[in-house]
Amino acid sequence: MKILIIGAGAVGFSIAKQLSAEGHDISVVDENPELIRKISEKLDVSVITGNGTSPSVLESAGVQEANMVLAVTTSDEVNIVTCIIASKYGTGKKIKIARIRNGEFTGNKSIFKHNGFCVDHMINPEQIIVESIIKILETPGATFAVDFPIGDVVLRGFHVPEDAPLVGLTFSELEDIEYTDSFLIVYIQRNDEMLTPSHGTTILPDDTIFVLISKIVLPYFLPMVNRRADEVEKVIIYKASRTGMLLAERLENSPIAVTIIEPEKDKAEMAAASLRTAVVLHGDATEIDVLKDAAVEITDIFIALSENEQTNLLTALLAKKHGAKKTIVLTNEPELVHIINQVDVDVVVNPRLVTASAILQHVRRGQILSIAKLGDSEAEAIELIAEEGSEIVKKPLKKIRFPKKSILGAIVRNNTMLLPKGIEAINPGESVVVFTLPGDIERVQALFSAKK
């Protein structure tokens, strides 16, 4: 597929890296010569220095032949205009995807909902981040959360404390426990390594486990990983940023008490005026007195959502030291996710990695319903539809040659999650959750696609 990417920042680089490795014909446009130099040195892609809103630049990049245009610069306006111009080229169907941060463009009342404005899909990182945080808040003890579109299947990540009932158990011993036919631990993140468990693998303290589980069974699983994981009753949000305000607005309809700390007086006043129940404090979360005023000592989760990752990390560490049970930190730099995970921070969210995953879902269109990266690893969870005539439905499961580094996680049959060990074959039209690495994606897709 010929794909044109406008924007060579963190999002554009991540998408270009993955799609070029999968064999797509990639061209990247950016007006920053330094970013273009970096991407040309590291990736086997075509590059053009210039503005994505310039027809001549787009023509030089091959917009006429492109099957897909991904506008992922930091400017909503540039991304929208790029899609409008790209729509004027070529006679075939050209998919146009724009990264859009302004909620007025992507909300339910957006004019785009009515006329499309030449944009086929809009990806709003803030909305995706907020949805992810909400799912984490709703799952006591979770550090990672993804829901799949079909059925009652969810994926959750948990940090395993020393006193967890799971500690010391091998996977063969887990099979003797009630409800184990309703969940599957697909990966273990141990230090810097992502492990695919076998029957002899033992769960250790400080592991992070990724669990594929039925929503109905989730409450019964939680005590196995945390002896006591209380419901979230109070959160502190640091900064009334776009993401912070969106999260606070969502939480106003929940029983969770919200306090926002905002260092800029005018923003604090605007937040207080627009929110109904949240407490808004004007102050700096790096000051201990401000944290105490916010009752940090009884706070379940401190959520740092400023645009400065250093400040987010500092405030989160201070909040944890002074009583917050758990912390969530936002960073805009993908390379910092792994580093921040090494310190006393429970959850790290990165809008750029989230945006890249959301866009890849549309690129790998067809039978793929959703894609989610597992933390800061390369592993992906993919939900696919088993198409009529595909290899996956023609044979018994035990005879399917599945890629060695991929895991068949679950089958959704009649909206119910079933584990592969109890299934002889997959039926056409059923959705399946697969865990894989980028190098195996093409083979996995081929298994589920009808032969033409």
Measured from the Cβ of residue 297, the count of other Cβ atoms closer than 10 Å reads 11
Hey, what are 127's tokens? 């909305």
Whether residue 161 is contained in a domain is answered as yes
Whether residue 368 is contained in a domain is answered as no
| 187 pLDDT above the threshold of 70 | yes
Question: Do 15 and 91 fall within a single domain?
Answer: yes
Q: Residue 3 phi/psi, 5° resolution?
A: -125, 130
Question: Do 116 and 147 fall within a single domain?
Answer: no
Hey, what are 347's tokens? 């959850």
Hey, what are 409's tokens? 């996680």
Asked if 432 and 448 touch (Cβ cutoff 8 Å), the reply is: yes
Query: What pLDDT, in 10s, does the model give residues 95-107?
Result: 899 999 887 777 6
Question: Do 209 and 282 fall within a single domain?
Answer: no
Q: Residue 434 has what DSSP assignment?
A: E
Question: Do 391 and 343 fall within a single domain?
Answer: no
Query: What pLDDT, in 10s, does the model give residues 399-441?
Result: 888 888 788 999 988 888 888 887 889 999 999 999 988 778 8
CB-side exposure of 302: number of CA atoms within 13 Å?
32
Specify the CATH number for the domain of residue 202: 3.30.70.1450
Burial class (CB in 10 A: 0-12, 13-18, 19+), 261: buried
| Residue 232 zone, left/alpha/beta (φ > 0; ψ -120 to 50; rest) | beta
Q: What is the pTM of this model?
A: 0.84
Name, in order, each residue with C-beta under 8 angstroms of 270's C-beta and a sequence gap of 6 or more: 240
Round to whole Å and give the CA distance between 79 and 374: 28
Query: What pLDDT, in 10s, does the model give residues 18-34?
Result: 888 878 899 999 999 99
Whether residue 240 is contained in a domain is answered as yes
Q: Which domain holds residue 314?
A: 234-353
Round to whole Å and give the CA distance between 257 and 276: 12
Q: Which of 90, 123, 156 is the last residue of a domain?
A: 123
**Span 188-196, mean pLDDT?**
84
Question: Do 65 and 109 fall within a single domain?
Answer: yes
Could you give the number of structural domains in the chain?
A: 4
C-alpha dihedral over 137, 142, 146, 151, to 10 degrees? -90
Question: Do 20 and 112 fall within a single domain?
Answer: yes
| 291 pLDDT above the threshold of 80 | yes
- Is the CA virtual torsion 167, 318, 376, 385 positive or negative? positive
The pLDDT value recorded for residue 151 is 72
Whether residue 132 is contained in a domain is answered as no
Query: What pLDDT, in 10s, does the model give residues 382-396?
Result: 888 999 988 898 888
Whether residue 409 is contained in a domain is answered as yes
Whether residue 369 is contained in a domain is answered as no
**Span 288-311, mean pLDDT?**
94
Specify the CATH number for the domain of residue 339: 3.40.50.720
| 113 pLDDT above the threshold of 60 | no
Question: Do 322 and 251 fall within a single domain?
Answer: yes
Q: Which of 69-83, 98-112, 181-195 has the highest mean pLDDT?
A: 69-83
Report which residue type is found at 25.
D
Whether residue 130 is contained in a domain is answered as no
Query: What pLDDT, in 10s, does the model give residues 215-272?
Result: 888 888 899 898 776 789 999 999 999 999 999 999 998 999 999 999 999 999 999 9
Q: Which of 292, 318, 353 is the last residue of a domain?
A: 353
**Nearest alpha carbon to residue 12 among 34, 330, 36:** 36
Report which residue type is found at 357.
S
